[in-house]
Amino acid sequence: MAEKISEFEQRVNKLEELRQMGVNPYPNDFIATDAAKKIIDLCAGLDKETLEAKNETAGLAGRIMAFRDFGKASFLHIQDRTGRMQVYVRKDLIGEDAYKIFRNFDVGDIIGVEGKVFRTKTNELTIEAKEIRLLAKSIQPLPEKWHGLTDVETRYRQRYLDLITNSEVKNVFVKRTRIIQLIREFLNKRDFMEVETPMMQSIPGGAAARPFKTHHNALDIDLFLRIAPELYLKRLVIGGFERVYEINRNFRNEGISTQHNPEFTMLEFYQAYATFEDLMTLTEEMISSIAMEICTTLQIEYQGQKIDLTPPWPRISVKDAILKYSDAEEGIFTDKKKAFAFAKKLKLDIPEAFSHGKILLEIFEKAAEPKFIQPTFITHYPLDVSPLSRKNEKDPSIVDRFELLVCGREIANAFSELNDPIDQQERFRQQVLERAAGDTEAHIMDEDFVRALEYGMPPTAGEGIGIDRLVMLLTNSASIRDVILFPQLRPEKA
């Protein structure tokens, strides 16, 4: 007999019935002695008869994912953090009263099971329940077993449902965690030290971006969520921590897209007495070794494109890349007017205030950047778009910097650090002028950082790697939201 009430109400009623039968629907005294994978591994080589003879027992806890009821017996699948296991429940084995209680269990409930491990007719490893207990009643129905949860909005808003239902989603986040672990291992092995620097800064520096603003009441000052840890990490190099890194969140108050989330995870590391060229080699080693571990191959596929991560990766300067992928003439690199005219030809909308270097960068991004599908180091960026980078010894209009591009996207950004305090101060001044001219992303003067440099920073190279984008690449994820557990969305109710 069906009632004119929702499934939610039906389950709440079951909760009451269970309580009336003397069952606590939310106990916390069950001890799971085993995990699904442990039992699967343990019994891997054992056939039906051998297993029967061993008389192996197991205790498992997990969520009911499937329920097949035969009246006086039932099959369930339960899922724990390690995998799935079938459970066979017989009325004559657990007893009349227990079976009556068991009939109130639903898909989605968390249960504990103890019993003998055996193989069914179809050879599936199964626990024959001697005891079965409710550990947490679920009063919300789970998505359907066959199609699962596909609605993208629900998947992001109720990520727990996505994780319960979609094992491939769970797998992406397992890989994400593993990738970060591997990065730590890689850097620790090379004598880098992990540190934490301020997320709340009074001068948001280290990148060209718009910050989030907040306020500290007791100090009565405005603070900004950091857009990068760079200037603090370099202060630490000055302090004598010659190899430091930080893996943590940056916040940028900008648009949201498949490649941008307002908060995102960044690795930044600094190595004294190294150059940007050393970091290219290090980057090849780090990313290829991680890819090998995560993907078990260096020939990976990203969104239908075949990518070969086998090092070494080609290196090409911004200038050579522009010359190679457009019909630009040499003149644009020395004559701002020519650069401006060429940018117009590429249908780029360049404001008058743009510096020569900025125009060249725009040209590069439009004409050349999308061409670099295979991993490539783009080197020697224009000086005025790199206010924290060291000038090239031979050509002072460019800096010793590289970006790593894969699939036309920036994965890493690195440079030999500017450690001349006078030069740094001048670069900041230039940024301040650009800000005054309307560039809201230009740097703010950081006097304390300049003072720190005045004490002397060893020659150093530093690099930033966008972890989310690296994870996207290595898990073949199309959107950054697929590699961030809780991506930023508008509130459901405005």
Q: What residues numbered 395-424 form the site for RNA, per CB under 7 A?
A: 410, 413
Pick the piece of the chain touching RNA (CB under 7 A) from 121-129, 278-286, 313-321, 325-333.
121-129
Pick the piece of the chain touching RNA (CB under 7 A) from 18-26, 63-71, 231-239, 334-342.
63-71
Q: Between residues 43 and 238, which has the closer beta carbon with respect to RNA?
A: 43
Radius of gyration of the chain (CA): 29
Distance CA 267, CA 272 (A): 17
Select from 30, 40, 42, 67 the one that contacts RNA (CB under 7 A): 67
Q: Between residues 39 and 238, which has the closer beta carbon with respect to RNA?
A: 39
Pick the piece of the chain touching RNA (CB under 7 A) from 140-148, 214-222, 287-295, 325-333.
140-148
4 binds RNA (CB under 7 A): yes
Query: Angle at the Cα of 213 (from 208 to 216), degrees rounded to 5?
Result: 135
200 binds RNA (CB under 7 A): no
152 binds RNA (CB under 7 A): yes
- Least separation in angstroms between residue 163's CB and RNA is 15
145 binds RNA (CB under 7 A): yes
Distance CA 194, CA 402 (A): 23
Q: Between residues 144 and 285, which has the closer beta carbon with respect to RNA?
A: 144
Q: Between residues 49 and 153, which has the closer beta carbon with respect to RNA?
A: 153
Tokens 């979609």 locate to 166
Q: Are the C-beta atoms of 269 and 278 separated by less than 8 Å?
A: no
Beta-ladder partners of 86: 77, 126
- Least separation in angstroms between residue 243's CB and RNA is 23
Pick the piece of the chain touching RNA (CB under 7 A) from 86-94, 320-328, 333-341, 393-401.
86-94
Pick the piece of the chain touching RNA (CB under 7 A) from 115-123, 314-322, 331-339, 372-380.
115-123
Pick the piece of the chain touching RNA (CB under 7 A) from 22-30, 239-247, 423-431, 485-493.
485-493
Query: Angle at the Cα of 84 (from 177 to 54), degrees rounded to 5?
Result: 120
Q: Of the candidates 94, 101, 98, 96, which has an alpha carbon nearest to the alpha carbon of residue 115?
A: 94
346 binds RNA (CB under 7 A): no
- Least separation in angstroms between residue 268's CB and RNA is 11
92 binds RNA (CB under 7 A): yes
Q: Between residues 7 and 329, which has the closer beta carbon with respect to RNA?
A: 7
- Least separation in angstroms between residue 413's CB and RNA is 6
Select from 47, 124, 301, 426 the one that contacts RNA (CB under 7 A): 124
Distance CA 294, CA 257 (A): 26
Residues 261-280 that bind RNA (CB under 7 A): 261-262, 264
Backbone phi, psi, residue 50, to 5°: -60, -45
Distance CA 372, CA 404 (A): 10
Q: Are the C-beta atoms of 194 and 180 separated by less than 8 Å?
A: no
106 binds RNA (CB under 7 A): yes
Q: Between residues 203 and 209, which has the closer beta carbon with respect to RNA?
A: 209
Q: Are the C-beta atoms of 191 and 239 separated by less than 8 Å?
A: no
Distance CA 207, CA 348 (A): 23
Select from 3, 168, 191, 393 the one that contacts RNA (CB under 7 A): 3
Count interface residues toward RNA (CB under 7 A): 76
- Least separation in angstroms between residue 366's CB and RNA is 8
Distance CA 361, CA 387 (A): 14
Instruction: For the beta carbon of residue 408, count every other beta carbon within 10 angstroms.
Output: 14
DSSP per position, 423-490: HHHHHHHHHHHHHHTT-TTSPPP-HHHHHHHHT---SEEEEEEEHHHHHHHHHT-SSGGGTSSS----
Query: Angle at the Cα of 390 (from 384 to 395), degrees rounded to 5?
Result: 70
Instruction: For the beta carbon of residue 471, count every other beta carbon within 10 angstroms.
Output: 24
Which stretch of DSSP H or E encloses residue 247? strand 243-251
153 binds RNA (CB under 7 A): yes
239 residue type, one letter = G
Pick the piece of the chain touching RNA (CB under 7 A) from 71-79, 315-323, 414-422, 455-463.
71-79
- Least separation in angstroms between residue 55's CB and RNA is 14
435 binds RNA (CB under 7 A): no
118 binds RNA (CB under 7 A): yes
DSSP 3-state assignment of 414? strand
Residues 276-335 that bind RNA (CB under 7 A): none
Distance CA 75, CA 62 (A): 14
Quick one: CA dihedral 235, 237, 238, 240, positive or negative?
positive
20 binds RNA (CB under 7 A): no
Residues 207-226 that bind RNA (CB under 7 A): 207-209
Q: Are the C-beta atoms of 285 and 311 separated by less than 8 Å?
A: yes
- Least separation in angstroms between residue 189's CB and RNA is 26
Distance CA 431, CA 439 (A): 9
258 binds RNA (CB under 7 A): yes
